[in-house]
Amino acid sequence: MAVSPQDIARVRAFNRDYTRRIGVLARSLLDSPYSLTEARVLYEIAHRPGVTASVLTEELDLDPGYLSRILKRFAARKLLSREAPAGDARCRQLRLTASGRRAFAPLERRSAAQVRQMFQGLDEPRRAAVLGAMTSIRDAFAAPAPAAPVRLREPGPGDLGWVVARHGALYAAEYGWDLRFEALVAGIVAQFVEGFDPRRERCWIAERAGERLGSIFLVGGGKGIAKLRLLLVEPQARGAGVGRLLVRSCVEFARACGYRGVTLWTQSILVAARRLYVEAGFTLTRTAAHHSFGHALLGETWDLDFSGSEGAAAGA
């Protein structure tokens, strides 16, 4: 999305106001003999003893030669020690000396006092709003953390209630389906619990870092055919392979249990789910118009026959 002139003006106005408030434009920082950059370097070394010049260069986005000159000035003033770990003379770890810690202490106190003064005139709601906005800005520009792996697990306490609630909430929000759909899901879940056969039936909850991302059920459907039911993927997890993992695990389990195939019932408007079924080797076998959950819908039956080739049945 293009950045508009109005967006640029708003950012520049914010920068002008904020730099004025924190005194960045002064020749020295916090009534000290140090420039803003020198104070930033002192801060990092004080709070991260043993940090190296190469790390400071990268994280503070400084020219290596400029940083080297700053470090030499600090060393000449006995503020800084540079020690090489045993066996690696090229990697010098930076630490403040006792003189350096004494020089940095007033900067730390004045910085804290400056922040207190900035917030002094704000009531609690406005203070919380400012701090929240600061956090949002940092998070928006931070490099995204590597995603934790998705794992599938059996349901625990509260999971089946979550399955019912999330189906009701998501389908109401995305398709306008009424409470009768949530009631249908509740009935399916209750039936699963009451007649559960652990040898041939399963529920999987997809989870990442403790957050539920989706669910799927496999139950016996009679005549050697299993039923895939209640596939759900949370919006924030879509496009990340969660649905594919759930469907594949369901199909593999059905095959391992000795079922002759898997069947499922879905609606034509559930386009993303239909793509997953096609990829897994399912074939659309029947359609029927119906009026359910407050809407006219086209129901679809999809079947996967394990008597075909191994690769096709597995959706390889």
pLDDT at 138: 81
In three-state form (DSSP H/G/I as H, E/B as E, the rest C), the secondary structure along 158-209 is CHHHHHHHHHHHHHHHHHCCCHHHHHHHHHHHHHHHHCCCCCCCEEEEEEEC
Residues 34-90 have pLDDT tens digits of 787 888 888 899 888 888 888 888 888 889 899 999 999 999 999 988 887 655 555
Closest CA to 41 of 29, 55, 56: 56
pLDDT at 314: 33
Residues in the chain, pLDDT under 50: 25, 27-28, 309-316
Q: Which CATH architecture has domain 5-141?
A: Orthogonal Bundle (1.10)
pLDDT at 284: 97
pTM over 0.85: no
pLDDT over 70, % of the chain: 89
The mean predicted confidence, pLDDT, of the chain is 87
Residue ranges of domains in the chain: 5-141, 151-314
Residues 249-272 have pLDDT tens digits of 999 999 999 999 999 999 999 999
Indicate the CATH number of 151-314 among 3.40.50.2300, 1.10.3720.10, 3.40.630.30, 3.40.50.720: 3.40.630.30
Segment (H or E) for 289: strand 283-292
